[in-house]
Structure 1
């Protein structure tokens, strides 16, 4: 689920114009739910249409949508179906949509409007009657001519192609050979794992310097140039990613900011192996048990008494972050990975980390390529962009089907998990690239 800067929805055409900007692409064979935040666009959730459209599937989807949107407490939602098929009244997709809408309304989520978009036009859906024909088609040109579409285009917004399987380009440029040579020279320091603490801190310092470069904006409209790579720094970072400990350390410090506490916790062999891995596995076992029943109306997910969840509380950042990290220890760090998190994300750092990993990935191979693709996939998971995360994790698993962290994140996606950051307006990613509003 993604959250984007507020946009006023004045008409059905505005609604349909906004969705591809919010998602970053035009959806295909999808169910899209947009939260109404008092006349502004709120959280945006896209799901693949199921292979078999039945009433029971519609009920399951309705309960899932309500559980994902519950922390944001939307005043209502818009439901939009994108399909190239011609739905037959009284069966299939109309029945699914009818049950989905009924389920949402029973859960206290009002449906403001229900629409469909096909290859030849769009129209309204009378979701109250599964046997009612789907509304008269209107031309797709109406969407392009909407007021909101013009405003977004004028503001420099854009959306790109649908996410596709990831194919990394071959390393190129005058520094490609130098990066390969420096990676090999530094790689001998990556083992044993955890590596020597002094060398590990050298890698972390190089990472911090690179994030500063990657975070620079050449202008005020969100356009960015490729991250320049210093061959020695790039070789050091790629060698560091051979170590699982350093990989995890860079992930955590990209998300929550530099802290010696994270280094101290992860560079201790006993702590990392005995506690971090067990904390993550405990969370995964809990999720493998199956989806929890949605919380009752007025209660936050996972808190039936109605108290705030950790993600809701994290809008008040602790005064002493290092003391907070030290008190929480490894289980708190593990919550960043699994999505049951009580830390405020630093999205500027994570966006810079993403662009750095994008620049490093073509120069990586084997386990290091798995690491770069897996971390890119995790950042997309944390952003709430499951389709992009799925393609990146697939690419990592094509390199090594047994790569543990990629399999873990892929399992989260298979279970329909949404990272806690993406579920709360105060912690969600609000874009940062030209292809995502």
Structure 2
């Protein structure tokens, strides 16, 4: 294994320029905390700045910050940045007391604050620097952050800073003609697949189609394929298949198949033959039952669960659906497959309708797995706007609102890496 490239931090401008790339957007009214492991940057945490009531009694907020940062077991220091519209303009900030509390608490937690900054609309400054020669008031120009060498390097590597999650525009445009054709074909697929919800061969065909799509280059999504899109959207309407796709992307097809067997979704009664898209632009056609080569181990079949498999466990060492969806298993998920799934779900959500709620819920789960709670909440909120009461979206949004971390996001060795290289 080759050593990853490293991003070199030369000064505070580079660190502050790194933050928006790490989050994906320029934060506003936010506390950002970055753990340090020696001189190496660790995890990045963003929280909304607390209101006056919390500032008056910040103990609970401080404990939450500590709990999050302690997930980085190797951390021995912390960097803090407060992004606020007047952060660089006022000599004394309303958040000075909060920073003092964080400084004291993190010192006791053996993650002392190495540096802290206020970042405003026009200026930024170090919080505890009193030397007006190096820290002039009201601060240094914000353009220094935009012009930092690390920011330039990140842009060169293809990283971009998008809008904040609440300002994000819906998924990319889909032509009206393609959308109309997909919705028409989707109705046909839904009718066919509804007859096969309990069919093992149909389940195998569904996983086989999704696996093939996830293995293709991202650019293939831009090539119009009416029945591909219609079939994939129709499969998301079946909760068991929707969950299996998420599990397969993270933990592999064996885990997806084993969980389905464990929950007894299949019927022993005769089922119609499996259907899947044929040649490009072809409609439903019957496929051989064992076309994808999936093995389905035999398990004792408990009573069938209701909507999906959120709380299921695994057997015989196979990751269970519940453990996968909570980020507990496998030790490291298949991030390349999850990244591909996110792109596919974005494409499918752009055509609206009930399948869009499922697709956005899947994107919300992936964002949560990546440790991006703000994006997760935005996607899940959109899903519930489309289909109020969508159960999986409600459950996941509750996790996000409670501040629950996905198991993978809480472990350095398992966490999603946006850039690949490390920063030091």
> Would you call these one fold, judging by a TM-score over 0.5?
yes
CA distance in 2, matches of 1:23, 1:109: 22
Does residue 71 (structure 1) correspond to residue 71 (structure 2)? The answer is yes
Paired position in structure 2 for 1:354: 342
Paired position in structure 2 for 1:202: 205
Structure 1 residue ranges without an equivalent (≥5): 218-223, 283-324
Secondary structure of 2:389's match?
coil
Structure 2 residue ranges without an equivalent (≥5): 267-300
Report deviation, 1:342.
4.5
Counterpart selection for 2:316 from 316, 327, 330: 327
Are the aligned partners of 1:78 and 1:111 in contact in 2 as well (CA < 8 Å)? yes
Give the greater-gyration-radius structure (CA): 2
Are the aligned partners of 2:76 and 2:110 in contact in 1 as well (CA < 8 Å)? no
CA distance in 2, matches of 1:336, 1:407: 18
CA distance in 2, matches of 1:193, 1:125: 63
Q: Call closer, same or farther: CA 1:70–1:341 in 2, change over 3 Å.
A: farther
Paired position in structure 1 for 2:414: 427
Paired position in structure 2 for 1:187: 190
Are the aligned partners of 1:20 and 1:26 in contact in 2 as well (CA < 8 Å)? yes
Secondary structure of 2:194's match?
coil
Paired position in structure 1 for 2:150: 148
Q: Matches of residues 122-137 of structure 1 in structure 2 within 5 Å? A: 122-126=124-128, 136-137=138-139
Deviations 1:408-436 (A, max 9, x none): 01000110111111121211111269xxx
- Aligned residues between the structures: 374
Report deviation, 1:31.
0.3
Paired position in structure 2 for 1:261: 258
Deviations 1:332-377 (A, max 9, x none): 32022234444420000001101111111122412x2211110011
Paired position in structure 2 for 1:103: 105
Moved more, 401-410 or 81-90: 81-90
Deviations 1:127-176 (A, max 9, x none): 99xxxx99641111222333322332333332222222553567416533
Secondary structure of 1:351's match?
helix
Are the aligned partners of 1:29 and 1:49 in contact in 2 as well (CA < 8 Å)? yes
Deviations 1:394-418 (A, max 9, x none): 1111112211000001000110111
Are the aligned partners of 1:351 and 1:432 in contact in 2 as well (CA < 8 Å)? no
Paired position in structure 1 for 2:289: none
Paired position in structure 2 for 1:409: 396
Q: Matches of residues 26-65 of structure 1 in structure 2 within 5 Å? A: 26-52=26-52, 54-55=54-55, 58-65=58-65
Q: Matches of residues 4-403 of structure 1 in structure 2 within 5 Å? A: 6-52=6-52, 54-55=54-55, 58-72=58-72, 73-85=74-86, 92-126=94-128, 136-163=138-165, 164=167, 167-168=170-171, 171-172=174-175, 174-191=177-194, 194-213=197-216, 216=217, 226-259=221-254, 260-266=257-263, 268=265, 271=302, 273-274=304-305, 280=311, 326-328=315-317, 332-366=320-354, 368-403=355-390
RMSD (Å), alpha carbons: 3.2
Are the aligned partners of 2:123 and 2:139 in contact in 1 as well (CA < 8 Å)? yes
| Structure 1 stretches of 4+ moved >6 Å | 87-91, 275-279
More contact order relative to length (CA 8 Å, sep ≥ 6) = 1
Q: Call closer, same or farther: CA 1:5–1:200 in 2, change over 3 Å.
A: farther
Are the aligned partners of 1:35 and 1:75 in contact in 2 as well (CA < 8 Å)? yes
What's the TM-score, normalizing by structure 2? 0.79
Secondary structure of 1:422's match?
coil
CA distance in 1, matches of 2:220, 2:56: 48
What's the TM-score, normalizing by structure 1? 0.76
Report deviation, 1:53.
6.0
CA distance in 2, matches of 1:5, 1:104: 30
Which of the pair is proportionally richer in helix?
1
Deviations 1:71-95 (A, max 9, x none): 3221211000000136878884211
